Every structure is written in structure tokens, then in C-alpha cells.
Amino acid sequence: MAKRVRDAFTVDDSIVASIPDTTFADGTSQQRYHRWRGTLDESSRKALEYLVPRIQIDVTRSWPASMTPRRGVENLPDDLAARVEELGPWDVPFPLGDGTTTITDTTLTEFAEFRYLYRLALINDAVATLLGDTLGATTVLDIGCHSGLFSLDLAGRGVRHIDGIDLRAQNIAQAQFLADHYGIDNATFEVGDADDIPSDRQWDVVLNLGVLYHVLNPFEFMRRTFELCRSFAVIDTVCHIEPVSGFFLMGDKDVNRSSEGREEYELHPTYRAVIDTIRHAGFREIFEVIGRSEIPHDLYKNGTRRCFLAIK
């Protein structure tokens, strides 16, 4: 699969490190930490590092053609608005036909579309391009699928089947509603936890999107991601940019929000910690996915969010 990545994309293998006269592999993580402390200045704290090969995706923000009503715009159900309100609140402004979306506030819709459609293109275009003509035979697991944005798009692109799981029943109810509304039959959504998935089950591809920083056991969670996939995983996560491998304890999280995790406290990784965690889990090779867009997504641009292909 690593060879397939290099066949499908132009790969940049150059290394950019912010610690002078050292490489990513020099010494232990503790030694690298102390070395970093000794060279700390304002410029090194803000410099973005690139320590794994990377590929670029041309990002075009647009809603997938598959996200159109099964019934047709002219036959939208009369109770659609009531059903959408009943399932709310929504984080993603899904188009429902005839100009109707799941978020009625125009300003919120534009802001959410700007961010979600960037991530959708960055991640799913990379997955679809890498799978190529094997897309139709591929099974996918979407851990922490939220309301199904990435799952529904990959299903619409023609994967054999995708299973989305999420801790929150409200998120799964939204995803199921959308699958029915769009007439997408090759996606299944269930309330569940990755820790509870039977160990004898595997999928070709596992999506681990926006979940790593919501857990208190990142090493176990990444190992679980490794065990669940046959071919590769996609890890998209918040990162801290300090050039040291470590996790920040973040607390006082509002666990009632649909986009948050289960715990009020969670561990947020640095960029180097994400790479170390992926490697420690057993993945053989890592590629970072970089977006190329006329109007970039601010978090990816400043390096506080990163996306990786982890090859098994």
C-alpha cells in the first residue's frame, strides 16, 4: 500500500525540523525534550515541522452529488422541517433539497460549510484516490462518525460498505435520517464504542477523524485502530506544534456537546506525539495529507490540525 501511495500521488520526502542540528530519530524522547528546552526561542516554538513524507490534495469545497434527496426536490416530505428540528441541534449544514439545510442560520451555515467541506475534500479525496479501482470492493469503519458526513460521502462515492459508530444516540439518529433522505443504502450507523467492537472484525480502511484528542488512552486507542484495519487508517487530529513528543491534559470539556468526547478531561497530542503514537501502534509507514486551496483552512494552515495516512 505504501508503494500505491507513491504511485497515486507526488510525495514530498523532505524533512523540516525546528530543533537545530538534530533529527527526529536522535536519542530518546526525553533526550529530545531536554534538547528542545535548551534551544527554545520564539521562532522555534512557532515553526511548523514536517517529519514524514507528505502528499498534496487540491481542495475544492462543494457538496457531493450523492447528497441529494431520494424523493427529489419537488417531493420533499411535508414534515421535513419538523423532523430536522426534532433531531437537532446540528453541527453540519447538510443540504436537504430546495435550499433547505439542517442549519437555518445563514452565517453559521457559511462558516460550517467553509470548514467541513475543506476537511471532506482533504480526507475523502485522498482515500478515494488511493483506493482507485478497488474502491467498490472496500469496506470502511468510521470511528466517531458524528452525523455521518464522511461516511455518507464515501458511501456515495461507491465503497462496498461503510459502518459508522458514535457514542451519542443523537448523532447516529441524524446519520440514519440523512442516509434515508439521500437514499444511501451502503452505510450503516450504530451507537457504539471502538473498545466494544469484536476483536475478530476488520475493515479494509478505518477512519479515525477528530477522535484521538478526545480519549485518555491514546496509545490503546491507536493500537485498536491498527487492529481493526486491514490496509490503512486515516488519522485526522488536533495537534500542538511544540517540537517535542508529548500530550497536554485539557480539562473542563463540555461533554454535552455532540462534537466532544466522553470525558471532561482528555489528552491533546503534539505533532510529534501523533507520529510516535501511530508508529508505536504498529503502522509501517506514515504519510501526511496536505491541502492546497485558494482559501485555506486556518487550523491546517497553522499546523494545529493535521491529517495522516497510516499504512499497515
Query: What is the pLDDT, as a whole number, of residue 310?
Result: 98
Cell numbers 489528552 correspond to what residue? Answer: 267
State what percent of residues in the chain have pLDDT above 90.
66
Quote the CA–CA distance of 182 and 73 in Å, as a whole number.
11
What cell numbers appear for 278 in the block?
Answer: 501511530
CATH of 2-60+113-311, one of 2.40.50.140, 3.40.50.150, 3.30.365.10, 3.40.50.300: 3.40.50.150
What are the pLDDT digits (tens) for 80-116? 889 999 999 999 999 998 888 999 888 888 889 999 9
| pLDDT higher than threshold 60 for residue 20 | no
Do 153 and 133 contact (CB within 8 A), yes or no? no
Task: Return the domain boundaries, the chain.
Answer: 2-60+113-311
Cell numbers 497510516 correspond to what residue? Answer: 310
Q: What are phi and psi of 139, to 5 degrees?
A: -105, 145
| Eight-class DSSP state of 173 | H
Query: Does residue 182 sit in helix, strand or coil?
Result: helix
What are the pLDDT digits (tens) for 218-265? 999 999 999 999 999 999 999 998 888 999 887 777 767 766 766 678
| pLDDT higher than threshold 80 for residue 21 | no
Quote the CA–CA distance of 87 and 172 in Å, as a whole number.
10
What are the pLDDT digits (tens) for 275-309? 999 999 999 999 999 999 999 999 999 999 999 99
Any bridge partners for residue 286, and if so which? Answer: 310
Note the pTM of the prediction, 2 decimals.
0.89
Question: How confident is residue 199, by pLDDT bands cut at 50, 70 and 90?
Answer: confident
What is the helix (H) or strand (E) element at residue 141, kind and residue range? Answer: strand 139-143
Do 164 and 187 contact (CB within 8 A), yes or no? yes
- CB-count burial class (<10 Å; 0-12, 13-18, 19+) for 80: middle
Question: How confident is residue 74, by pLDDT bands cut at 50, 70 and 90?
Answer: low
